[in-house]
Every structure is written in C-alpha cells, then in structure tokens.
C-alpha cells in the first residue's frame, strides 16, 4: 500500500465554496430550496473535479451523484439538507471571525462536503471514486436509502465527511436511531356538563408516556425519549385525540427488535381508548467493527487521531449495517451541530481535506 503525501490545499478556495453552499439555504423537505442547493453542490463538484455531477430526482429533493470513472472502489457519502428553516441566514449570515466560520450548516455538514471535494481534487487519479450527496439525511433518508446502499455495495468502502466528534475525533460507531408516533383516539364530550361521556385521549397519552419512557435501558445504551406531545382542541372539551412522538437510540440489533416489539404491544389504559403506532428504528446501529480497518489507515495518515462512538445517526449507519467498511466523522472540526452557535474551525480544513485524500488514495492502492 502506498500512502498519500499531504499537499497544499487552498483554504481560501474552500471558504469560497463553503460560502456558496451556506448562502443557499437548504432546509429538509423544502423542495425548491433543495433544488437550488443540489445545483450549487453539483456546480462546486464539477468546478473542482470536472465531469458531470448528476441530479438524481426524488420525492425529497434532488440527490447529487458524481463518479470519477473506472471500477468503483470508494464512496464519499454526505448530505446537503440542513435542519435550519429559511430565514436563518438573515439572522446568522456566513462569516469568518476569530478563526471560525459560522452560518447555518457550516458544521453539519457543508464544511465536510467542501473539504472532501477539495481533498479528492489533490489526487492525480480519481478513478473508482464516487461522491453521493443526498437531500434527506436529516429527516431519515427514506428516499435515498436504496441509492446509498446500492452505491456502497458497488464501491466496497465508504467515507462519511459528517461533522467530527468533540475535539476532531472520528466517529467509529453510532447508535441506531428512529422515531415513533403513538396516536390515541378517544371521544370528545363537554368537559363541564358530561366529562364521563368522553374518552380522554390526553389521560391515555399520559399513561403511555410513562410506560414508553420506562422502555429505556441507558446502562446498555438504549434511550427512549418522548419529545413532542399534542392533544385537545379547546379548554372545555374532553380531548378526542393525542399524539406522542418518541426518539429512540439503540446500540444493538437485539435492542432494536425489543423496542419495536414493545411499541407494537402497547395497549390502552383508559376504557374506550384506541392506540395506533407508526415508526421504527429506521437507522440500524453502526458497529465499531465496521470502521476498524479504515480507522487504522486514518491513524497512519494522522498520528494521534482518536475515534469515538456517538449517539447520533448518519447515512453511514446504513452502509455499515450492510457489512461495508465505513468511517464517519471525517468532516469539519468544530461544534454546535443543529444549534445557533454552530461553527467550523478554519485552521483544520486543510488537514481534513488531506485526510480524505489520503484515505481515498490508500483504498485505491491497497
């Protein structure tokens, strides 16, 4: 195996491309915004790497796919949708200050995309390299999962330039994660004249929230967290419906099965109430075993680099679950993902771009 030698990467050029992507807001599910964002991502890829970056249409918005040609060997996997609503840019414009870049999406994960593209651009040979940038990672990857899995299996190795963990650590394992929606159907009645004639969906939901929260086993990494609840229409009406949204994280396939079975078995506590459940642990766990070989390569390229398992999921969960070697957290060094204080450390951009380049080169030349 030949190892890639670090080369000069223009930080100014990376910042230019990062500004371009950040200033085209791309909230998940906003199809018009995502179309504009996908075109911008494709333009950046084409300007730095040449060739054609295809827009793959989907119900969630366009995904972007680029290939350097030749036999597929490595997939660089990311997303261009962000969690921030339109208008965030006006309140939090892109800027560079005190060595940090700020603006919606700089850390999760537009900075990582830019670094990956510029890293690949330093290589003499792009054959076997594919880049896939999806439009719906932040909302479950339902429209992109099949494409992700297809290209991961074809390539045989996956590099995910998602935001790094604390201190720049790579993400060598991730929990499986999913969302459940529990809907309670009751019966409305006048809360003052005849409350007994109703079936109170809110009371049923209260029972269920406690039962659902008790499913967690944090000592083995399973968290079950009710996050949103809605019920009722007016203050003098017995609620006829309630909906509880639940976030679930698990470390093992066995826990995924246990949790899904427990939600399916939920039964009403209030006479006359009916329960329906939607959802699943849609992202399987990403076991640390999936990253062992690639992480060893990364440590050879950047001695002192550390890895850690994290609770959040990514599209790397899907590829790792297929048995495809996957290394995550290769993107921006910074912090504040999904928060107003989100930032990217500018001084780390060149090093991370070279890390991606080195990994691609090593995979190309085993």
Instruction: Check which CATH number belongs to the domain holding 272 and give it.
Output: 3.30.70.360
Residue 2: per-residue pLDDT:
57
The backbone torsions φ and ψ at residue 254, rounded to the nearest 5 degrees and listed phi first, read -65, -40
Dump pLDDT digits (tens) for 36-59.
Answer: 999 999 999 999 999 999 999 999
Domain of 316?
11-173+286-364
Residues of the chain above pLDDT 70, percent: 99
Give CA–CA dist 35/41, Å, rounded: 10
95 and 134 inside one domain: yes
Hey, what are 232's tokens? 């009722």
Please report how the helices 11-22 and 31-49 are oriented relative to each other, as an axis angle in degrees rounded to 10.
Answer: 160
318 and 200 inside one domain: no
pLDDT band (50, 70, 90) for residue 8: confident
Give CA–CA dist 158/327, Å, rounded: 6
Counting the structural domains of the chain, the total is 2
Q: Which of 239, 267, 283 is the last residue of a domain?
A: 283
242 and 325 inside one domain: no
Hey, what are 314's tokens? 């990514």
How much is the pTM? 0.91
pLDDT band (50, 70, 90) for residue 3: low
């Amino acid at each position: 195996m030949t190892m890639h030698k670090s080369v000069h990467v223009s930080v100014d050029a990376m910042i230019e491309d990062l500004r371009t992507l950040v200033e085209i807001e791309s909230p998940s599910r906003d199809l018009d915004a995502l179309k504009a964002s996908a075109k911008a991502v494709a333009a950046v890829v084409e300007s730095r790497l040449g060739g054609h970056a295809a827009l793959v249409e989907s119900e969630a918005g366009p995904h972007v796919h680029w290939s350097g040609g030749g036999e597929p060997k490595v997939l660089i996997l990311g997303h261009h949708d962000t969690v921030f609503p339109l208008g965030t840019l006006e309140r939090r414009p892109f800027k560079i200050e005190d060595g940090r870049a700020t603006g919606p999406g700089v850390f999760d994960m537009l900075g990582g995309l830019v670094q990956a593209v510029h890293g690949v651009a330093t290589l003499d040979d792009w054959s076997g390299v594919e880049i896939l940038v999806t439009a719906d990672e932040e909302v479950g990857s339902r429209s992109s999962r099949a494409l992700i899995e297809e290209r991961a299996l074809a390539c045989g190795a996956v590099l995910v330039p998602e935001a790094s963990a604390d201190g720049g650590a790579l993400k060598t394992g991730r929990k499986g994660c999913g969302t459940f929606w529990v809907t309670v159907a009751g019966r409305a009645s006048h809360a003052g004249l005849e409350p007994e004639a109703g079936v109170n969906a809110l009371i049923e939901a209260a029972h269920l929230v406690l039962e659902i929260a008790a499913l967690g086993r944090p000592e083995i990494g399973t968290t079950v967290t009710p996050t949103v609840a809605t019920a009722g229409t007016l203050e003098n009406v017995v609620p006829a419906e309630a909906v509880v949204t639940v976030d679930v994280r698990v470390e093992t396939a066995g826990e995924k099965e246990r949790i899904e079975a427990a939600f399916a078995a939920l039964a009403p506590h209030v006479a006359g109430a009916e329960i329906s459940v939607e959802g699943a642990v849609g992202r399987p766990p990403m076991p640390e075993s999936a990253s062992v070989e690639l992480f060893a390569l990364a440590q050879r390229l950047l001695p002192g680099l550390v890895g850690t398992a994290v609770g959040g999921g990514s599209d790397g969960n899907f590829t790792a679950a297929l048995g495809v070697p996957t290394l995550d957290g290769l993107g921006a060094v910074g912090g504040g993902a999904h928060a107003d204080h989100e930032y990217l450390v500018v001084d780390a951009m060149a090093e991370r771009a070279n890390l991606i380049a080195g990994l691609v080169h090593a995979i190309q030349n085993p």
